[in-house]
Structure 1
Amino acid sequence: MYVATRCHISTITRPDERVRCLWPLLSLLLLLWLVSGPLRAEAVGWQYQGQHWFSLQSEHFVVNYPSGLEDIAHRTVQIAEQTHTELSAWFGSQPEHPTQVVLVDDFDVANGWATPLPFAQMRLYISPPDQVSGLEHYDDWLSLLIRHEYTHVLHADLQRGAVRQSRNIFGRMWFSFPHALEPSLLLEGLAVYLESNKDLGSGRLNSTFYRMQMQAELEQQPDSLDQVLVPPRDWPYNKAYLYGAWFVRYLAQQYSEQQLKYFLWLHSGRLLPYSELSGDFRRSFGLSLEQLWQGFLAAQAADWQPQRQQRLAQSWQGEPLPGNDLVTERRPMASNGTWLAAVEYSGESARQLVSYQPAGTGWERVQHGSVKGASSVDIGQDGRLVYSRPVTAVDGRVWNDVFYRQKNGREVRISQGLRARQVRWLNTGQLLVRRMVAGRAELLTLDLHGNRQLLWRGDYGVVIGDVDLSPDRTRLVAAVKRPRQGWNLALYSLASATWQPLTNTSATENAPVFRDNQTLLFSADYEANFDIYQLSLTDQQLTRWTRVTTGAFEPQWLADRLVYQRYSAEGYRLYEVQELLTASATGLPDNRQLAEYRQADTRPITAIIQAHPAAATLDQTSPISAQAAAPADQYQPWHDLRPRSWFPLWYVDEFHTELGVTTWGQDALGRHNYSVNLLRDVTYGVTSGALLYSYDNRYGLYLSREYRYAQGAEDNERDQQGREDRLIAQRNYLLHGFEDRFALHLGSVWESKRVIDNAGLSWRGGQWHQGLVGLAATWNNRQSFRQVPGVGQGSYADLVIESNDVLNSQYRGALAQFRGRYTLDLPGRDTLTLGLDGGIAADTGEYFALGGQTGDEAQLFGRDQIALPGYHAGVRYGHRYHKESLSSRLWLGRLEQNWSTWPIGFGDYFTRVYAVAGGVEEDGQFSRWLPALGGELTLQLWWGYTTQGSLTIGYSQGLDNANSNGGEGYLQLVWPLGG
């Protein structure tokens, strides 16, 4: 949902008109301050047949979960209560009411979120991480996730003084949560700091990957405070977490945790937190936030410079693969010994499915078309390509399915809802699939017709990472994470269905592949840095292939050489190494026995718990206590739906004064959402308002009553008053398919306008009403790219058919409208969009109105105001219309920085030039086209450090001099409301 205000510059001719123009902008800025942040939590996935939701109540939590996750729910209660004991002692406070926790298995990614609105709540994705990304340092995934998200809950809940009084009066409004309005740098930094436990080796601050990323940043030009305060589009994408974690750690170590806690206490009383942020750092640490940041960067560089110099002197990394571009995501890739298949993404265009093959002294690179994401890829001995990729469904789930690329480039979907994390060719007609379902790892076979068979299912807490099949297809190797262990390597026999452990070290061994039937290649951080190693299965001899200054990942054996991905501060690049690392090259031994490396802690779990009591949550084999929570009840949304906040509304203009109130609410699952605005006109004694209700993304209801006023034609004529009522009801996704790009929707719109006082308002006659019921078919195949503003490429179309004959309406007959957009991805970050619109209505139906800078574009049903820039609204009326448009968006540059510590940041800036023309049918024939040209300059803005909007300056000029408005400039501010 977006809110926009537009100021038409051509109308500003008098000082009082300038005030009228600026007032909406100022009002919107005030509104954004009141509601900045995510107002709506995402809804859980649609409830499928046979699924039910339950709630477990403990002293400080309510855990809501779907059927099938009972054991995980009980474990969540135990972990959450222990986490509460530890973290509430650290913060010195706790929420007044139990925190709502929702367990979901709707995504094939490891994630979660927390928010204080409208009540303290956490959403936990139970699917654990299975690759090296910084999150791999955990024992029980839920323990790490709950600790991180509950830190957010307690952090945001801190209150004192005026903030506490504000909550007592207005409830849970955003301005009553000053810590929730902090930059993500501080929010996520504190959460990562408190999730990390040095003694247990858990959390991202104990991750070799996180240390590598920070070292790589320091090797280049590290980000200034202004740059890191806004969500970045440049690499790495996790800067708020990365920089924030090390910065908070620096504050705690350089100063003390007590001073850090003092800052939290001090800032928790600020009703205007943005203006006090840097000052509160000065009061707490003696330096401003900017000065602390400079000290942090200097201290980090001094700490890590000696390590960098040592690794530079001993580096052995091979050569970049000729012809491969730097990409900003790690490539899923695989080799058949002759070809290397990979999925590459630059952020400027769609992901590309490519293959590499050595050719003479160079490399041959072949493109096989684009893909909409990829979690894994594999290439068979015959060159056939198969991959798994996420499919975003309208039911709210994002699960991975398996696809096969035919030689003609056509993509064929093999599975439906399979949740495939990784796919490998097993033989010419079968695939091996790795997946996670309900928190448990599984291996299964899949044929090209979608038939599947389960091979193995692990216990809870056993996570299978990257897998690879031996050349003889009798075994697979996997990175395996077991309870109370790190990531180790293991072999699985397809014949006997048994596992054979290969390693038991405290290092993180990952991405294993077979070089041949008796030799493995893999990545590991044996010496506090990820490098590529080779392991002989016959004698356990370990051989080093690389010694890079950052990190080496995803090894593949291709022809007679090693190919891997090397991390840098700009992204990942492919490297090749054709010689083993030797002592003559680096002064280091080229091989050693695996046993020489650090071994895992093999003490009994009871001994670990005695040494570190917090590790008790890691014992995943202990029985679940039935006393941890009350017996589960059926989930009920009604208690959570009650309003938790309110705010007064006040509107004054030359005609009247309105006073009112606004409130909103939702349930813990995010399915039920509503907002209510009520206004009393104290001048005329009438009441207006609006009610908005939605149930997940399928059902929507909007009801409103609005009064409008106009000055009489004569000075002595009293004001005119009119009332407008509107009811919109919509049922989305009656049918959906084709990866949910196609959908059918049902909707109805009822509107009534009538004059209450004098005649002569903008609508015709003293009373007008219309009732429409319609069916819409939509097609949405658009894609967005990280480095491209707006739509990157793809098509959108809708066909809407509505009738006036079902509801009470003064019109009769049916109407139909079509709208189509096609966006072409141009080189770089530019795009070209073609548009076609048209409509036809019965002669007894309402007219379409053509003209104006804006129309009813945001609506699917009930559209009758058709925008045509360069002309006045309603320049043409008719029962048939057409409109054609061509626009090009040209990317100009990127600022990507905040304005000091104020809650205003700047992103990309770009221009859009467009040509548009339209016409309507008048007296049985179409009028001549009304063409127009225009241009816009847009600057992306960040409000409150996290919410993105835009500021646009534009000009449009109608080319039909007899009907144009003489050229019009406009200023538009757009901001999203809700999440």
Structure 2
Amino acid sequence: MKSVVLAILLVLSAASLSFAAVMDTSFKFSTIETSHFSIHFHQGLEPAARKVAATAEGIHPKMVREFKWEPQEKTQVVLIDDTDFENGMTITIPYNMIILQVVPPSLVSSIGEYDDWLKVLITHEYAHVLTADAARGYSKVTRSIFGKPLPSIDPLSELLFFVTAPPNTFNPRWWHEGMATWAETEFTGAGRGRASDFDMIYRMAVAENNIPSIDRINGELPDWPDGNLPYVYGYRLQQYIADTYGKEALGTLSLEQAGRFPYFINAPPERLTNGKDFAQLYRDMVQQMFREQDARIVLLSRAPYTPLRLVSNEGENLTFPRVSPDGSRIAFNRNDPHDHPTVVIADRQGNRVMEFRRVQSDRGSLTWAPDGNTIYFSQAEVTNGFDIFQDLYAFDLNTKSTSRLTKGLRLHDVDLSPDGTTFAAVVSNRGSQNLVLLDRADVTAYSRVTPRQATDLQMQRVSAPRWSPDGRSIAYTVTDNAGHTGIHLYNVVSGTDRAALTLDHNVAFPVWTRDGGALIYVSDETGVFNLFAYDLKEKKSYQVTHLLGGALHPEVAPDGKSILLASYTSRGYSIVSTDLDRGKWSEQRGPTLPPPRQLNQALPPGTPEPVPPQTPEAKPYSPWKTLYPHFWLPHMTFDGSDMPPLGIFTAGQDVLGYNTFLLSADYSTGRNRAYYDLTYLNNYFYPTILLQGYAQPFLYGDLLQRGGDYYELNRAFKAEVSVPVNFIESNYRVKGGYWLQDQRALSSLDPNGRFRGIDVFQGRRDSFYAGVDYASNLRYPYSISSEEGRLVSAQVRRYQRGLGSDVNSTEYSASYSEFLRMPSPALKHHVLYVNLAGAAAKGDLTPQQALTVGGVPSDLNPYSVRGYADRSALGRYLAKGTLEYRLPVSNLMSGPGTAPLFLEKFHTAVFVDAAHVWDDHITNLGDRTLVGAGGELRLDVSIGYWLTITPALGVAHGFGSGGENTIYLTIYANL
């Protein structure tokens, strides 16, 4: 679950603008207004919207009291069903907005244990609003003046942003997610604080002495449980503070911090925590957790643990083992921070890996064809331009090829019948999940066959269907919104469905014994995820395993004598096996842990919140209530005058992202001139439409190497259409437009209209342009840069006198980058980077548009050659190449306590840059070839808790005329 989108990323997003529509253009939105919320939803989601409206209003007064803050404006809530993966996101700048993906959370997700999933989601996200939006003291004053601002890209507004934005925005992830996870635990009947999953993580971290220090829980750590660390340990810290100093302490902490300058979080108010800072509180919490979990481990140790045999632990998160029909091979999923997610196929003992198969985002399930030559699985891909839906795929073990079999069906948890004729699967749609059947014979490449729906459940989770050995029944689990989970049996012959077992605990992943007489399933009845068996004839449940960690994804071997499962350790899940001996099953439960947290509400678990008799009628969505400017900031630009021009900056976007605008206006007293920039983006349609008008100063540093900075006034209007083509691991963007531009000198010219002897161009340069960008570069948590894939871009621009321009010319530019992984396991994360780029200007050449090479790489210097000064050579034709070998040195993964600094990965690179520029008319520009080589030391650093950059210290030598030995410092944002 994503939450509290950091302001700095919003800044970058707003400054760069979006290049494509933001959601499926077939969605038609409506709005329900309540006293404190505006609920926006598209067709098919009105029942969910009414439930969210009632739930949000129900929790509002309780949470406002707890966190001691009530927003001054309504919170905008967007409900959307455009993915098969649960998620939530909260943004509090420039106004409060929550986005909820309306899909029931999977049990294997961090929020998979719930009593009412929509209530847990809205409670968690609204806690973000109440804690991040809070203002006190100076921040309350600045908000009354400026609103909640985003900065422009000028230094003045960037500086003022840090003293005018809500201070809590800048707090670390563990603070935000800890507060919100505490709230979902406090204000619902479930929440992760009561989850067996979180308790399992704590228990095994204590048992194996593997608890991260506070500097490592902000989310940058690639190791298990990686992105969940802020939730797991952030919650545990906030819960410790609430238990020790009173639950009102968290609201006090939030409000106190809302009156401090950003990053002054280290020391909570002395009167509240007896002078202890967060690092000391975290150490105290860890000591308490050791005491608590040691006692729970002693309790579990009263009975012998089930012996487990290791099958595979090569990887961080190994899940969903499936045995081939002949019992000779196993397949399972492997997720690892060092590599791409894969399906691993190995021998039965896991000793010999036979095949790896890359997969994309999926829920993990696998199924074999009866002949053992094909593995079927689901994975996600972009559908309808923007939706991320799962479909059925097949991997042929003979040809080693993968084929996509369906398109847009939203299938997951796929299982093939024993006779190989029918798939059982789960389909998600508009907040509900249901069991469906799909004939294998009907499935062809990209087919749009309609599955047969076997159930008709609303707003409930359906998961893990498995066929019985005789092919007559399907076992699957259903989780309702009252805290109950059960195993259902669907009779394929009669089409009837019945609940075989229902519990007030989690029940998951049922599989059949080989004789079909019992179901093996996972449950946390004992406080630990163990395996249980339900005898269908006796209608009795037995405990099969007693584990210290936990078990998921059981798979009975073909001989019925053993069972594979995913077993938890503090470093993730491994594939193990154990004997399946009915004589050792116990009707009596083994040692049972007490609940991690007692319910703090008067209502018992599963009791629904009171629902108002009627919510307001829905009305068509209108963008105007959120589109207007919610903030402003002083703005600064530069035009070469003694006093930089000053003005204002503002921006706005409606809550659905259909309309976006940015506006800046400045006045130069030195030049007695006004400047402005107005940009508008329209995302109602599949292509994005951009309209921009501006009159801005523009700098040409050291124009044509004549020792002077030349400023000109650019007045322009641009109209652009951009069309995205999106995939999970790649994307294209095709754009085209018309640019009317007038260039006039701001710098002083001599009587002949020259700048330092240069005949600068003044006049119209109107142009048509078109371009394409392609990206397929991939990186992994431990990567030091992109490790595979490529980046390609090309653009052409035409200036035509007959169309209003004062010049006739054509400009071309192109760039190609390739990232090559080293094939040897000994060279893990070593990367060879290759870049080729070129540009040409044909026709009338203006001095301002001369192509230059040299200098250090940056976004503003695409044709860098290290070992030479900036603009060391220039002309109208340019070719440039870079060859760079990148290699890791050390994974530091540490920082100074709670300070907003975290050192991640230290790495280095050696490089060769080469470029050639030439000109066929202006001979005094000369023909130049530049070659430079050297090396860089690089360090990935997380600053401000949210932003990762890579400072680099480099040395370079230029071989040739103008070359020099240089030592330089630069900063990369995304290698």
- Give the TM-score category using the shorter length: 0.7 to 0.9
User: How far apart in 2 are the matches of 1:832 and 1:497?
Assistant: 57
- Cα distance per residue 1:534-554 (max 9 Å; x no partner): 333222344444322211111
The alpha carbon displacement at 1:60 in A equals 0.7
Q: 2:653 aligns with which of 658, 666, 686?
A: 666
Give 2:68's match in structure 1, choosing from 92, 107, 118.
92
State the Cα distance separating 1:276 from its structure 2 match. Answer: 5.0
CA gap of 1:673–1:685, structure 2 versus 1, over 3 A, is same
Which amino acid is the alignment partner of residue 631 of structure 2?
Answer: S
Residue 129 of structure 1: how far off its partner (Å): 0.7
Measured at CA, do residues 325 and 548 of structure 1 come closer, stay the same or move farther in structure 2, by a change above 3 Å?
same
Report the more deviating stretch, 398-407 or 532-541.
532-541
Count of paired positions: 913
Contact preservation (8 Å) 1:354, 1:367: yes
- CA deviations on 1:599-618 (whole Å, 9 max, x unpaired) are 99xxxxxxx99961896645
Is residue 162 from structure 1 mapped to residue 138 from structure 2 by the alignment? yes
Cα–Cα, structure 1 residues 680 and 899, in superposed 2: closer, same or farther, change >3 Å?
farther
Q: CA RMSD in A?
A: 3.7
**DSSP-derived class of the 1:82 partner:** helix
Asked whether the equivalents of residues 321 and 576 of structure 1 are also in contact (C-alpha less than 8 Å), the reply is yes
Q: What is the match of residue 891 of structure 1? A: 888
Q: 1:844 to 1:855 in 2, by over 3 A?
A: farther
1:774-853 matches, cutoff 5 A? 774-805=769-800, 808-826=804-822, 827-844=827-844, 849-853=851-855
Q: 1:719: Cα distance to partner?
A: 10
1:685 and 2:672 are equivalent in the alignment: yes
Partners of 2:321 and 2:564 within 8 A in 1: no
Q: Partners of 1:721 and 1:564 in 2: how far apart?
A: 69
CA 549–409 in structure 1, closer or farther in 2 if over 3 Å, else same: same
Deviation readout 1:438-491 (Å, 9 max, x if unpaired): 011123334321223222343323210222122222211112112324222111
Match among 498, 505, 508 for residue 507 of structure 1: 505
1:761-801 CA-partner distances (Å, limit 9, x unpaired): 69752426533323333433222212213323112323434
Going from structure 1 to structure 2, the CA distance change for 1:157 and 1:40 (only over 3 Å counts) comes to farther
The answer for the alignment partner of 1:941 in structure 2 is: 941
For residue 619 of structure 2, the aligned residue among 633, 640, 652 is: 633
**Residues 419 and 969 (structure 1 numbering): CA distance in 2 closer, same or farther, change over 3 Å?**
farther
Q: Which moved more, 1:800-809 or 1:907-916?
A: 800-809
Higher relative contact order (CA 8 A, sep 6+): 1
Alignment TM-score, normalising by the size of structure 2: 0.85
Q: Which residue matches 2:635?
A: 649
Amino acid corresponding to residue 60 of structure 1 in structure 2: H
Cα 1:851–1:641 shift into 2, 3 Å: same
Which among 25, 38, 49 is matched to residue 73 of structure 1? 49
Say if 1:172 and 1:807 are closer, same or farther in 2 by CA, change over 3 A.
Answer: farther
CA contact (8 A) 2:104 2:117 kept: yes
Q: Deviations over 1:55-84 (max 9, x none)?
A: 111111111111221222122211111111
Q: Relative to 1, partners in 2 of residues 1:425 and 1:739: Cα closer, same or farther, differing over 3 Å?
A: farther
> Structure 2 regions of 5+ residues with no counterpart?
1-6, 150-160
Residues of 2 paired with 1:763 and 1:909: CA distance? Answer: 46
Residue 199 of structure 2 is aligned to residue 211 of structure 1: yes
Deviations 1:174-204 (A, max 9, x none): 6442222222212111111111149x74111
| Counterpart among 402, 408, 412 of residue 417 in structure 1 | 408
* In 2: Cα distance, 1:594 partner to 1:474 partner: 31
Following TM superposition, by how much is the alpha carbon of 1:379 offset from its aligned partner in structure 2, in angstroms?
1.7
Measure how far apart 1:729 and its partner are.
4.4
Task: Report deviation, 1:294.
Answer: 1.2
What amino acid is aligned across from residue 200 of structure 2 in structure 1?
A: M
Q: Which one is further off, 746-755 or 819-828? A: 746-755
Q: Deviations over 1:487-506 (max 9, x none)?
A: 22111112222222121222
3-state SS of 2:645 partner: strand
Aligned residue for 2:323? 335
Q: Distance in 2 between matches of 1:596 and 1:708?
A: 74
Residues 422 and 801 (structure 1), Cα distance of their counterparts in 2 relative to 1, 3 Å cut: farther
Q: Which amino acid letter does the alignment assign opposite residue 533 of structure 2? A: Q
Cα deviation, 1:106-162, whole Å, max 9, x if unaligned, reads 121111111211111111111111223342332322111111111111122322222
Equivalent residue number for residue 155 of structure 2: none
Q: Tell me the distance in 2 between the aligned counterparts of 1:735 and 1:288.
A: 49
Contact 1:399 1:419 in 2 (8 A): yes
Q: Distance in 1 between matches of 2:216 and 2:727?
A: 42
- 8 A contact 1:326–1:572 mirrored in 2: no
In the alignment, does 2:714 pair up with 1:724? Answer: yes
What amino acid sits opposite 1:262 in the alignment? T
CA distance 1:740–1:851, shift in 2 (3 Å): closer
Shift of 1:923: 3.6
Q: What runs of 5+ residues in structure 1 fail to find an aligned partner? A: 1-30, 584-589, 601-607, 859-863
Query: Is 2:568 aligned against 1:567?
Result: yes
Q: Which residue of 278, 283, 291 corresponds with 1:294?
A: 283
Residue 640 of structure 1 aligns to a residue whose secondary structure is helix
Offset of residue 300 of structure 1: 0.9
**Does the C-alpha gap of structure 1 residues 36 and 836 become closer, same or farther in structure 2, counting only changes over 3 Å?**
closer
Match runs of 1:317-396 below 5 Å: 317-322=306-311, 324-337=312-325, 338=327, 339-358=329-348, 363-375=351-363, 376-383=365-372, 384-392=374-382, 395-396=385-386
**Of 442, 451, 456, which residue of structure 1 is paired with 2:434?**
442
2:127 equivalent in structure 1? 151
In 1: Cα distance, 2:534 partner to 2:740 partner: 72
Matched residue SS, 2:420: coil
* Greater alpha carbon shift after TM alignment, 101-110 vs 849-858: 849-858
SS in structure 1 opposite 2:239? helix
**Aligned residue among 443, 459, 467 for 1:469:** 467
Cα offsets for 1:285-321 (capped at 9, x unmatched): 4322222111111111111102223435645354453
Q: Between 113-122 and 405-414, report the one with greater CA deviation.
A: 405-414
Query: Which aligned pairs between 1:528-567 and structure 2 lie closer than 5 A?
Result: 528-559=527-558, 560-567=561-568
Tell me how far apart the structure 2 counterparts of residues 502 and 676 of structure 1 sit (CA, whole Å).
62
Where 2:545 maps in the other structure, the secondary structure is coil
CA distance in 2, matches of 1:273, 1:931: 45
| 402-411 vs 172-181, which moves further | 172-181
Structure 2: distance between partners of 1:835 and 1:721: 32
Please give the alpha-carbon distance, in whole angstroms, between the structure 1 residues aligned to 2:330 and 2:295: 37
User: Aligned partners of 1:813 and 1:299: how far apart in 2?
Assistant: 73
In structure 2, do the counterparts of structure 1 residues 330 and 102 end up closer, same or farther at CA, with 3 Å as the change threshold? Answer: farther
How is 1:609-620 mapped onto 2 (pairs within 5 angstroms)? 612=603, 617=608
What SS class does the counterpart of residue 63 from structure 2 fall into?
Answer: helix
Deviations 1:931-976 (A, max 9, x none): 22232222222232122223222233322x2143x13333223569
Partner Cα separation in structure 2 for residue 912 and residue 750 of structure 1: 43
Contact 1:229–1:897 at 8 Å: present in 2 too? no
Secondary structure of the residue that 1:504 maps to in structure 2? Answer: strand
- Three-state SS of the structure 2 residue aligned to 1:136 is coil
Distance 1:521 1:65 in 2: 40
Comparing 511-520 and 832-841, the one that deviates more? 832-841
Partner-residue secondary structure (3-state), 1:657: coil
TM-score (norm 1): 0.85
CA contact (8 A) 1:422 1:433 kept: yes
Match of 2:760, SS state, is: coil
**Could you tell me how far apart the structure 1 residues matched to 2:757 and 2:691 are?**
27
Q: For residues 191-229 of structure 1, give each alpha carbon's deviation from its aligned partner in whole angstroms, at most 9, with x where no partner exists.
A: 11111149x741111110111112222332322222224
Q: Is the 8 A contact 1:699 1:731 kept in 2?
A: yes
2:180 aligns with 191
1:228 to 208, 211, 217: 217
